[in-house]
Amino acid sequence: MAVWNGFLHGLLLSVLIGPVFFALIQNSIEKGFWSGFFMAVGIALSDSFYIGVTYFGISQFVDNPTFNMWLGGLGGAILLVFGMVYIFKPVPMKGAKQSHEESTLWFRQILKGFFLNGVNPFVLFFWIGIMTKVTIEFDFTSNQLLVFFVTLIATVFGTDILKSFFAMKLSQLVTPRFMKIMNRVVGLALILFSLYLFNFVLEGFGYSVLGS
C-alpha cells in the first residue's frame, strides 16, 4: 500500500507544471542529458529536504501569516532574478548544445535544481499537505512513511530523467533561434510565477494585483 500510493503521488507531482518543469526541459535541450540529470538530482534533494523539515515540525510555522509572506517574498524575488537571467541569456553562435565540459558541471546543476525547486513556498505547502494526508488518511507507521516517500521521490526522479532524455533528443533539431525563444519562454514563465508569489504576499496585506 505504501509503495503503490507513493508511486501514484509521484506521478501526480511529476505532471504538475511549475517553474522547475520549464527550467528542466530548457536545461536539457541546451546543455544535454547529463545537465538535466544532475538538475533532477538537485530537485530530488530539495524535495527530500522539504519532506524532512515537514516531518520534524515546520508545518506549525505555516499557520503564521508573517512566515508565509516572508517565504513568498523571498521565493518571488529569487524566481524573478532567474527569470530575468533567462530572458537576457545569450545563445552561443555554435548552436544550442554546449560543450561537454560545460554541460557536465554537475555541482552547479545540482544547486540550480535545488534552489529553483526550494525557493517556491508552494512546494513546502504541497509536502505539508501530503504529509498530513498520509499520516491521517492512511495512518502510516514511521517505516511505512519512509517507504512511501522513498517511492514518491524515486518516481519523480525517474520521470525527471525521462523528461531530460526526451528533451535532449529534441536538441538535435534545435537551432539557436529556437533556443532564444525557449529562453524567453522559460524566463517569462519564471517571472509569472514570481508575480504570483508577490500577489500572494500582497494578499496577506489585504491587496491583490492579479484579481480575486
Query: Domain ranges in the chain?
Result: 2-204
| Residue indicated by cell numbers 552561443 | 92
Return the pLDDT at 64.
Answer: 64
Q: In the prediction, which pLDDT does 191 show?
A: 84
Amino acid at 132: T
Taking a C-beta distance cutoff of 8 angstroms, is the pair 147, 51 a contact? no
State the average pLDDT over residues 114-136: 75
pLDDT of 211 over the 60 cut: no
The average confidence (pLDDT) of the chain is: 76
CA 36 to chain centre: 12
Cα of first residue to Cα of last residue in the chain, in angstroms, is 40
For the stretch 54-108, pLDDT in tens is 777 655 555 566 766 776 677 678 778 877 877 887 765 444 444 444 445 788 8
| pLDDT tens per residue across span 11-41 | 877 766 677 887 888 888 888 888 889 999 9
Based on its alpha-carbon atoms, the radius of gyration of the chain, rounded to whole angstroms, reads 18
Grid cell, residue 70, equals 516572508
The predicted structure's pLDDT at residue 136 = 61
Cα angle vertex 83, ends 75, 42, to 5°?
Answer: 60
Q: Please, how many CA atoms are within 13 Å of residue 19, restricted to the half-sphere of its CB?
A: 32
